[in-house]
Amino acid sequence: MYAQLITVSIKPDQIDEFQELYEEYINPEIKTQKGYKNFYLLVDREKSRALSITIWEDQEAAESSEEINLYLEQRASYPLYSAPPEREGFEVALKA
C-alpha cells in the first residue's frame, strides 16, 4: 500500500468551510479513483492546518490519481489556503 499526505495551511476563519468542501466534493471524487483504499482528514484548529491522508493499493495508483486530486483540491479549496499545499508520498510499511 501507499499513502499520499497533503499538508495545508488554512485561513483561520475558513476551517469549517474547508472541511465541508472535502466532505462534499473532494472525498467523493477521490473514492471513484482506481486503487483507492481509504481517506482521512485531520484538522488542527489552533494552528489552522489540515493533513489529508489517502491510502492507495500501490504507488502507481496513487500517482495516476495525483493529477485529478491536485486539480480538485486546488479548484475547490484554493481561496481557503493561507499557503500552497505540500504533497508527500510514503510506502505503508505496517498496518496494524
* Average pLDDT value for residue range 32-45: 93
Which sign does the torsion angle of CA 34, 21, 7, 93 carry?
Answer: negative
Which range, of 7-11, 59-63, 82-86, 92-96, averages the lowest pLDDT? Answer: 82-86
Domain assignment of residue 59, yes or no? yes
What pLDDT, on the 0 to 100 scale, is given for residue 75? Answer: 59
- Does residue 96 sit within a domain? no
Report yes or no on 15 lying in a domain: yes
> Which of the four pLDDT bands, split at 50, 70 and 90, describes residue 69?
low
What pLDDT score was predicted for residue 27? Answer: 85
The whole domain housing 47 covers 2-91
Q: Does 54 reside within a domain?
A: yes
* Domain assignment of residue 25, yes or no: yes
Tell me, what's the pLDDT at 71? 54
Question: pLDDT of 24-38, one tens digit each?
Answer: 888 888 888 899 999
- Longest Cα pair distance anywhere in the chain, in angstroms? 37
What CATH number corresponds to the domain at position 39?
3.30.70.100
What is the domain count for the chain? Answer: 1
Strands (E) across the chain are located at 2-9, 36-44, 49-56, 86-91
27 occurs within a structural domain: yes
Q: Which residue has the higher pLDDT, 85 or 91?
A: 91
